[in-house]
Chains A and B, each alone.
Chain A
Amino acid sequence: MSVVLQSFPLLLQGLILTLEITAGGAVLALVLAFLAGLAGTARSRILRAVSRVYVEFFRGSSALVLMFWFFFALPLIGFRFEAVAAAIIALGLNVGAYGGEVVRGAILSIPPAQYEATIALNMSPALRMRRVILPQAWASMLPPFGNLLIELLKATAVAALITINELTFVGQQQRAATGESLPIYTTVLFMYFVVAQVLIFGMRRLELRTARSLGRAPAARRGRRPALAGVGDGGGSGGVG
């Protein structure tokens, strides 16, 4: 037990870095998801094509390889990234591609009658999107976003491979230094688990609040699929990590 106590402060520092990468990746992914989702439902064919290319490319590429590319390959042609920045960008691009499909699907799921009501009130397309469609679509984005967030948290472990001392990396170091695999890795597992639970709890609160603001019955907790199962349009978690 004393091993854990000794390593604990270091593991905690690793955890904080994990949280930072998760937060940074989530913000980037959210922005990209909205851009891709909006472009994917735009009237302009060019915008739709750009969105398609982004989504297909980054959904189909491994976050790990992307990270290597940003960290090891790009500097060779003169673009140097901090390791943490490379991790955030790689994860953000990857998760944002999944998120783009979530946003697009949610926008398309709004009944045509809502569009027609906005036309009858002479709303511009931008106003319609901002004030009517997105606020309603937001409710159906939240559950898949929750899954993606958990995916993202777990995927930050790949950052260990570019020597970022996030939680998994520190875990490995401490194991090597102490030889105590069991207590160290158990602690690491537990830390990921606790963070995931907090995120899930927060997302559920947000889902409930949003559903209630739309006058939807606070959906009885449907058996939430494990985070590993389908995100977005059923493409599994294969792309992440």
Chain B
Amino acid sequence: MATETGPVAAPGKGGDGDASKIIRFEKVVKRFGDNVVLRELDFDVSPGERVALIGPSGSGKTTILRLLMTLEKLNGGVIWVSGDPLSHMRKGDQLVTADEKHLRQVRQTIGMVFQQFNLFPNMNVLRNVTEAPIHVKGVARDEAETKARDLLNLVDLGDKYDAHPSQLSGGQQQRVAIARALAMEPKILLLDEVTSALDPELVAGVLDVLREIANTTDITMLFVTHEMRFARDVSHRVLMFDQGQIVESGPPDQIFSNPQEQRTRDFLHAIIEER
């Protein structure tokens, strides 16, 4: 996960070492070929904050989460997580492209839930949840299993420990994926349209679980969603994106009841029409 930019001078202002912000995007540039998806994007997130990312298709929401999960390389700027550069590492007063070791280090605090669940089909439900705690974190098997059972109970799958992922509904699989991510005790949880692959009747179950997690933990959450009701209930702040830029940002009441920007109004309108 290198950048094309090579070494850059560590920017002195703020970002560097500023641990009061758990996430900080600083002039982040992301291109796919000639397609500039993010141009010098700046924003930050406080610890425990829950931020909803909304905006039209192709506006770069998924890309932001994937950059944070180190699934994509950035082409410019720096992403800071708890004051540490995510895609770079310090070398003297320079920031150089991160190596695998640094990436393993920074990934410890971040978890992600995907639109398509991405459970491991070669493991049953319990093993999906315990695999990483045991083999990545070195948690004892008993302890990992006890914790996994608690988490599976939390996501309402107390009777499915031994089931195979293929025997579960989409909604159930997604709840396993949420438990699996939580088992690694991330400080930051990224959720990319986690209900949009689900049949309508299964959406509520997954959203209820996320509401519960939001209410009972202080995990920082960044979620991309088209469920405006959910975004309004759960988020502290909404970021409206268009073409890789933040068009409008504010508390959910303001964004949903009294949007200032025409593009936000158009987008919310289109979403409501869709329903």
Contacts and interface: CB of A to CB of B under 8 A. Distances in A.
B166 to A, nearest CB: 3
A123 B112 CA distance: 13
Interface in B128-176: 131-132, 135-136, 164-167
A121 B69 contact: no
Among A114, A131, A136, the one with the most B-chain Cβ atoms within 10 Å of its Cβ is A131
A113 B121 contact: no
Interface string A113-145: 110110111111101000110011000000000
Question: Which of B111, B135, B165 gathers most chain A CB within 10 Å?
Answer: B135
Nearest to A130: B135
A6 interface: no
A120 B181 contact: yes
Nearest to A215: B166
Interface residues of A, number: 20
A136 B121 CA distance: 8
B118 interface: yes
A113 B116 contact: yes
Contacts of B108: 122
A215 B136 contact: no
B107 A119 contact: yes
B70 interface: yes
Contact of A122 (B71, B104, B122, B180): B104
Interface string A193-217: 0000000000000000000011110
Given A122-B108, A124-B104, A116 B71 contact: yes
Q: How large is the interface on B (under 10, 10 to 19, 20 to 34, 35 or more residues)?
A: 20 to 34
B165 A123 contact: no
Given A113-B116, A113-B118, A116-B118, A123 B69 contact: no
Nearest to B177: A117
Contact of B131 (A116, A120, A131, A136): A131
A22 to B, nearest CB: 29
B132 A121 contact: yes
A127 B111 contact: no
Contacts of B118: 113-114, 116-117
A140 to B, nearest CB: 12
Nearest to A210: B122
A133 to B, nearest CB: 9
B122 A121 contact: no
Given A132-B122, A214-B122, A122 B165 contact: no
A33 B254 CA distance: 61
Given A119-B69, A124-B136, 15 more contacts: A113-B118, A114-B118, A116-B69, A117-B119, A120-B107, A120-B110, A120-B114, A123-B132, A127-B136, A135-B122, A136-B121, A213-B122, A214-B122, A215-B166, A216-B166
8 contacts: A119-B69, A120-B69, A121-B180, A122-B107, A123-B135, A127-B135, A135-B122, A215-B167
